[in-house]
Amino acid sequence: MTVVLDRPYEFVPPYRGNLWPTAIQSFRLIDWHLRTKEAVLGGECRNAERFAESLNAGHGIILAPNHCRYADPIVLGWLARQVRTHLYAMASWHLFNTNKFEQFALRRMGAFSVFREGNDRKALETAIDILVSGERPLVLFPEGTTNRTNDILKPLLDGVSFIARSAAKKRAKQEKGQVVIHPVGLKYLCLEDAHEWAHVQLAELERTLSWQPASEAGSIEKLIERLLRVSQAYLALKEIEFTGHASSGELSPRRDRLIEQLLVQAEERYSLEAKPTEDVRERVRKIRSAVSATYFATDDADRDPATFRRDAERADLAQFLLSFPDEYLSPGQITDTRIVETIQRIQEAIFGKAKESLPMKVVIDVGEAIPVPVGRPPRGEADPVLCQLREQLHTMVTSLSQEAKLLA
């Protein structure tokens, strides 16, 4: 669950020294973590000289990658190593609430918290100050969340542009030079045949559902059929859990109906009204904010933690269901990485954690620097900075997706 109800939000600042990040790089601790925990065995940095040029010019730098795996912030350590720098990164508050070791490690690697359920002035000020001082480059994920769809760029949040423009204005007053944004395309590629891996993982999922698993891997068509059956079973279980019964029909409209029902259930409890212009992610954010704010504003004797957790789970599930795009397994577009990602999303749903057991490598492609102007964006128009970032990232993600193995 991404809404933290165990304790009120408290800003976690970044570790400012160089001792720990230097030690982490020197002893190759990120390599060990990626290899043993994420099965990411290597990385290929492309166009790193673009990043190095901005560093040498003394710019305030934002690295803005697409966000498809939990490993994303860590693999950027390979890019940082190549250009001989350390990084800061803004990370969701819930990541600092897993265990004390992870909170310790996150801070030592340069992460600081942001409260996504409210207006976190401290996090914004910290991000802006980092860019103004030019102390280190700052990593901001403009999509906001991760959902294992490496080949599809999700809508970008405008927070990146706000932080960049605010820092550019301060830098200009202090005559410190530019703020620039470097889009970074991340693409994970399978190092081994994914077909047999997928068969083994699907067999485990089928046994979990009390089904007799297939004895052989079969054709790719058979694999897709099994994958869709497992997806339908998971959706039916969630329909029963949250609505009382499983519906019938095609997978896509059933998913969309359940998303709407989950959102409406939570919105009604907190008297939230969804605007026609709001998408699912915006509605989810409002629900999470309402859950957190109401919970901590309610006296201990009057609040039922289970009810609030249930509402937070509704919001999380709605956003999670959104991570199964219709076109991802369309005929002619099925790649080994798309099969792996879809299975891992289902594993996260059923087991709480994906099986990171198929060896992969990551391509880290640095885009051209986008200079950030000092002034505000044109009133009533799309922010040109965000448009340039979206265009570059979309082009990079689309191009990198062609490097995966296409399955017949």
* 156/205 same-domain check: no
Residue 316 and residue 231 share a domain: yes
Establish if 407 belongs to a structural domain: no
Mean per-residue pLDDT over the chain, rounded: 94
220 pLDDT higher than 80? yes
Kindly state whether residue 13 falls inside one of the protein's structural domains: no
Assess if residue 309 is contained within a domain. yes
- Percentage with pLDDT > 90 across the chain: 86
pLDDT in tens, 348-377: 999 999 999 999 999 999 999 999 999 888
200 and 157, same domain (yes or no): no
Residue ranges making up the domain that contains 134: 18-191+359-402
- 283 and 344, same domain (yes or no): yes
Is 10 inside any structural domain? Answer: no
pLDDT of residue 218: 83
Count of beta carbons in the 10 Å neighbourhood of residue 120: 18
CA distance linking residue 328 with residue 324, whole number of Å: 8
pLDDT digits (tens, 9 = 90+) for 58-72: 999 999 999 999 999
* Domain end marker among 311, 332, 351: 351
In a shared domain, residues 164 and 204: no
Residue 89 has pLDDT above 90, yes or no: yes
Q: Rounded distance, CA 76 to CA 160, Å?
A: 18
- In a domain, residue 6? The reply is no
- Quick one: pLDDT at residue 165? 97
Please tell me whether residues 333 and 365 are part of one structural domain. Answer: no
Co-location of 178 and 203 in the same domain:
no
Whether residue 119 is found in the same domain as residue 253: no
Indicate whether 341 and 367 sit together in one domain. no
Q: Which residues pair with 301 in a beta bridge?
A: none
d(CA 162, CA 140): 12
Cα distance between residue 4 and residue 312, in whole Å: 9
Q: What number is the average pLDDT over the span 322-331? A: 84
Q: CB 32: neighbour CB atoms within 10 A?
A: 11
Local confidence band at 202 (pLDDT 50, 70, 90 cut-offs): very high
pLDDT band, residue 99 (cuts 50/70/90): confident
Does the pTM surpass 0.75? The reply is yes
Average pLDDT of 140-151?
A: 92
* 3-state secondary structure labels for all residues of 174-232: CCCCCEEEEEEEEEEEECCCHHHHHHHHHHHHHHHCCCCCCCCCCCHHHHHHHHHHHHH
Same domain? For 145 and 294 the reply is no
Alpha-carbon separation of residue 346 from 116, 202, 231, 316 (angstroms): 25, 10, 7, 14
Other beta carbons within 10 Å of 253: 10
Q: What is residue 216's predicted lDDT score, i.e. its pLDDT? A: 83
Instruction: Name the band, by pLDDT with cuts 50, 70 and 90, for residue 19.
Output: very high
> Domains in the chain: how many in total?
2
Task: Give the CATH number for residue 97.
Answer: 3.40.1130.10
pLDDT of 2: 85
The per-residue pLDDT for range 227-252, each reduced to its tens digit, is: 999 999 999 999 999 999 999 999 99
Tell whether 167 and 222 lie within a shared domain: no
Q: In which residue are the tokens 């999470």 written?
A: 288
- Same structural domain, 220 and 345: yes
User: pLDDT value at position 101?
Assistant: 84
